[in-house]
Each structure stands twice: as structure tokens, then as C-alpha cells.
């Protein structure tokens, strides 16, 4: 979200708008108290101090100010400006569904459920929304008590510059950085340890594919350091020596990873958008992803689609084998078929042009202000 906020801020400034970023500052949080109390001190900053600061600032805001919430999770502060021109950007409602017990893979605590309820009550006061995908908009409408005045979809634009890199060059540069032999290619996943990223599923797929194919390409998992559960899963793999976790990579190295990969595997259980799908395609890498929204929406006709991993573990082995067959199909594409898949991905990725996204968002902002002027 910080990257998204900065993209919006820079884009609107570039278009001649005056922009201010408001957020709680860690005042009480910095007080030297035991670690167990830090969270509660942070709540004072967010829910006591910050609202008072906002009320004071609002007195100095001109009537032609548009208040932009960069995520619906900022819902608790929407009531502060509910009677002023405002818009709420929505990215995903996974936490909201989890709080209602609708996602068994992600149980939520009592306090978490009440916090999500607080968020929902807040953004339900909103009147104008911009969702990053059709799935997110559909989910939003399930939670709102009434249909809002405005609800638009604008696909996210890339928040970094992506330029194609020659595959062999990318592999060579990344090999020099990591010390891993990558010259023959590799399988790639980019993501964190969140339940919906399905990192364990990636390892299950890799194990099944190695046993099926006999091809010895390594697996790179780029993102945060692995959780204990994922480390244990790797330790049990007969191919553990070829499973590599790469953390803390700069953006340029992540781009090299995309550009050099034989195939990008993204078997997410859920997403709000699915940035890595678009990024991999923009870097010229074939993509395998889940045949559910919004992943298949973002992949378009360029992705190789697979079923969602079943929640019941005993069914996972059959799932991994079925996906492994798709992986093998993509790995063994002829040069001509591979090039066709890459070109389809590059064409699909053009839908997520940053300037196009910002232009559409600016048009919506203008329409909200015009609506406010009329009312």
C-alpha cells in the first residue's frame, strides 16, 4: 500500500494537483514501554490522537479538497470526511471474508473479527469507490448496505518501470548475484508467507513435477524469508538442494528473476489483484496461475490456468500432480510455442500501464468533484 500511495501521489502531482499525505505518527508508540504494550500505544496514536489532528486540519481545508483513502482498511477514518468529497480505493476483502469465517485457511481471532467489523462500518459510510479488479468490486458490493453513488474498476498500474531483459543475460546476472546455477533455467515464485500466496503449494507442485518429469531445474522462491512451516516442508523434500529462498532482493534483481525464469508459478488461493502475474508477463515469462478471479482476469488469455488447491490436505497430492503436468507442458514448449506465449503475455501486460491507470483515476476524481459541486 505505501507504494500504491506514492504512485497516486506522484501521478497526481505530475498532473498539476496539490497533494498532501496524512497518516498517524508514532508518538505514544515510541514511549519506552514493554513490547507487549506497544500495540496498544499504537492504537492510541491511530484512534485517539490522529482523529483529533484530522479534525483540526479539516478546518483549514478548502471545499474543493478531495479526500482519497488508498485502501478500504482505512475505513475507521472515513466517517471523519463522509460529508465531504471523498473516494476509497479497494484492493481486497480477504480479511473481511476471513472475519466472517468464510475462508477456512485463515481463521481470525476475536479481536481481529471486531477490528474488521470496525473497518467495515467505516468504509460503509463511503459513497465513491475505485476497485483494482472486477472481483474486488463484486466483493465490495457484498459488504455495502446500499449501492454507492459511484463504484468503478481501474486496473492497477505497475509501480515500477519494467523493461524486457534478454533471458540468457538475466540468468547470467542473477547467477552471479546468487551463486546458484541458473543457466539452464528455473521455476519461479514471487510472494510472501501469507496463507493465500500458497508457498507450500508451490513446493508441493515442484516435488510432483520433479518426480514426473525427470528435469532438474531449480525452484526459486523470491520474497520474505520463509516461515518455519515452509522451512520444514523444504527440509522434507527429496529435492531440497534445488529449492532456494531469495529474500531482500532489490527490484532490479526481482526483474532479472522474472526475465530468466523458464516458467512463473503463481497458485494463489486468493488475491486482490495479483501483481506478480502482470509483472512476470511484462518481463517476458510464461505464467501458470489459479483458474479463479481475480487471477484469471489479470492473466487474461495469456496465462496457463490450474485449479485452486483443495483445502482438504488428502486431496492435495492429486492436485499437485495435475498441476505438475501443466508445468511440464510449459517447460517443454517448443521455441515457437514459447514465443507465442511470451508475446501473448506482453500484450496482456499492456492493460496495466501506469499512466493509463492514473489517467482513469484522475477522470474519476474530477467526476466526484463535479458531483459535489452540483449537490
CATH of the domain at 78: 3.40.50.2000
Instruction: Determine the structural domain holding residue 361 and report its residue range.
Output: 2-157+354-374
User: Does 361 lie in the same domain as 346?
Assistant: no
User: Does 288 lie in the same domain as 359?
Assistant: no
Q: What is the pLDDT of residue 38?
A: 66
Cα–Cα distance between 169 and 183 in angstroms, integer? 9
34 in a domain, yes or no?
Answer: yes
User: Does 365 lie in the same domain as 272?
Assistant: no
pLDDT in tens, 101-137: 999 889 999 999 999 999 999 999 999 999 999 999 9
Instruction: Give, as one character, the DSSP assignment of residue 309.
Output: P
162 in a domain, yes or no?
Answer: no
pLDDT band at 29 (very low <50, low <70, confident <90, very high): low
* Backbone phi, psi, residue 62, to 5°: -75, 160
User: What percent of the chain has pLDDT above 90?
Assistant: 84
Cα–Cα distance between 73 and 136 in angstroms, integer? 13
User: Does 230 lie in the same domain as 112?
Assistant: no
Q: Where are the alpha helices (DSSP H) in 62-198?
A: 94-99, 110-123, 134-143, 167-178
178 in a domain, yes or no?
Answer: yes
Distant-in-sequence, close-in-space partners of 146: CB < 8 Å, separation ≥ 6? none
231 in a domain, yes or no?
Answer: yes
Cβ–Cβ under 8 Å, residues 153 and 134: yes
User: Does 341 lie in the same domain as 358?
Assistant: no
pLDDT in tens, 267-318: 999 998 999 999 999 999 999 999 999 999 999 999 999 999 998 888 999 9
Cβ–Cβ under 8 Å, residues 143 and 120: yes
Instruction: Give, as one character, the DSSP assignment of residue 94.
Output: H
pLDDT band at 156 (very low <50, low <70, confident <90, very high): confident
User: Does 346 lie in the same domain as 217?
Assistant: yes
Cα–Cα distance between 164 and 283 in angstroms, integer? 5
Name the least confident of 38-47, 166-175, 234-243, 267-276: 38-47
Name the least confident of 30-39, 66-75, 214-223, 232-241: 30-39
152 in a domain, yes or no?
Answer: yes
Distant-in-sequence, close-in-space partners of 24: CB < 8 Å, separation ≥ 6? 45, 46, 49, 50
Q: What is the pLDDT of residue 27?
A: 74
Cα–Cα distance between 147 and 124 in angstroms, integer? 10
User: Does 297 lie in the same domain as 229?
Assistant: yes
Cell numbers at 270, concatenated: 486468493
| Domain total in the chain | 2
pLDDT band at 35 (very low <50, low <70, confident <90, very high): low
Task: Report the chain's mean pLDDT, rounded to a whole number.
Answer: 93
User: Does 153 lie in the same domain as 177?
Assistant: no
Three-state DSSP class for residue 325: helix
Q: What is the pLDDT of residue 136?
A: 96
User: Does 193 lie in the same domain as 312?
Assistant: yes
95 in a domain, yes or no?
Answer: yes
Cβ–Cβ under 8 Å, residues 263 and 237: no
User: Does 333 lie in the same domain as 193?
Assistant: yes
User: Does 358 lie in the same domain as 347?
Assistant: no
Distant-in-sequence, close-in-space partners of 45: CB < 8 Å, separation ≥ 6? 24, 25, 26, 27, 28, 29
Q: What is the pLDDT of residue 375?
A: 65
* Backbone phi, psi, residue 127, to 5°: -120, -20
- pTM recorded for the entire structure: 0.87
Q: What is the pLDDT of residue 53?
A: 94
User: Does 130 lie in the same domain as 75?
Assistant: yes
Amino acid at each position: 500500500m505505501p507504494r500504491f500511495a506514492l504512485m497516486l501521489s506522484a501521478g497526481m502531482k505530475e498532473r498539476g494537483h496539490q497533494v498532501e499525505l496524512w497518516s498517524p505518527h508514532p508518538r505514544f508508540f515510541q514511549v519506552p514501554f514493554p513490547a507487549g504494550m506497544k500495540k496498544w500505544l499504537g492504537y492510541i496514536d491511530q484512534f485517539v490522537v490522529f482523529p483529533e489532528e484530522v479534525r483540526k486540519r479539516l478546518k483549514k481545508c478548502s471545499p474543493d479538497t478531495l479526500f482519497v483513502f488508498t485502501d478500504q482498511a482505512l475505513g475507521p477514518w472515513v466517517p471523519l470526511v463522509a460529508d465531504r468529497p471523498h473516494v476509497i480505493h479497494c484492493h481486497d476483502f480477504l480479511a473481511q471474508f476471513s472475519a466472517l469465517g468464510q475462508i477456512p485457511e485463515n481463521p481470525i481471532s476475536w479481536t481481529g473479527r471486531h477490528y474488521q467489523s470496525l473497518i467495515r462500518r467505516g468504509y460503509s459510510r463511503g459513497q465513491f469507490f475505485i476497485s483494482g479488479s472486477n472481483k474486488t468490486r463484486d466483493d465490495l458490493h457484498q459488504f455495502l448496505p446500499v449501492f454507492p453513488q459511484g463504484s468503478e474498476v481501474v486496473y492497477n498500474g505497475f509501480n515500477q518501470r519494467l523493461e524486457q531483459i534478454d533471458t540468457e543475460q538475466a540468468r547470467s546476472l542473477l547467477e552471479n548475484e546468487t551463486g546458484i546455477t541458473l543457466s539452464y533455467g528455473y521455476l519461479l515464485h514471487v510472494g510472501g508467507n501469507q496463507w493465500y500466496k500458497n508457498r507450500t503449494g508451490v513446493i508441493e507442485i515442484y516435488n510432483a513435477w520433479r518426480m514426473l518429469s525427470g528435469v532438474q531445474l531449480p525452484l526459486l522462491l523470491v520474497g520474505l524469508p520463509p516461515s518455519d512451516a515452509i522451512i520444514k516442508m523444504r527440509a522434507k523434500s527429496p529435492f531440497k538442494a534445488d529449492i532456494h529462498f531469495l529474500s531482500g532482493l532489490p527490484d532490479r534483481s526481482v526483474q532479472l528473476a522474472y526475465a530468466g525464469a523458464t516458467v512463473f508459478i503463481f497458485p494463489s488461493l486468493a488475491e486482490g489483484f495479483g501483481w506478480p502475474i502482470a509483472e512476470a508477463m511484462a518481463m517476458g515469462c510464461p505464467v501458470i496461475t489459479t483458474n479463479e478471479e481475480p487471477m484469471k482476469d489479470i492473466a487474461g488469455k495469456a496465462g496457463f490456468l490450474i485449479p485452486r488447491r483443495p483445502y482438504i490436505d488428502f486431496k492435495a497430492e492429486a492436485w499437485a500432480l495435475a498441476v505438475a503436468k501443466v508445468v511440464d507442458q510449459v517447460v517443454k514448449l517448443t521455441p515457437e510455442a514459447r514465443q507465442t506465449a511470451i508475446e501473448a503475455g506482453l500484450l496482456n501486460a499492456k492493460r496495466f500501464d501506469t499512466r493509463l491507470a492514473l489517467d482513469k483515476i484522475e477522470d474519476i476524481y474530477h467526476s466526484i468533484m463535479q458531483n459535489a459541486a452540483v449537490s
